[in-house]
Chain A
Amino acid sequence: AQKVTQAQTEISVVEKEDVTLDCVYETRDTTYYLFWYKQPPSGELVFLIRRNSFDEQNEISGRYSWNFQKSTSSFNFTITASQVVDSAVYFCALSEGGSARQLTFGSGTQLTVLP
Chain B
Amino acid sequence: ELKVEQNPLFLSMQEGKNYTIYCNYSTTSDRLYWYRQDPGKSLESLFVLLSNGAVKQEGRLMASLDTKARLSTLHITAAVHDLSATYFCAVDPGTNAGKSTFGDGTTLTVKP
- Chain B associates with chain A: no
Q: Which residues of B contact A (CB under 8 A)?
A: none
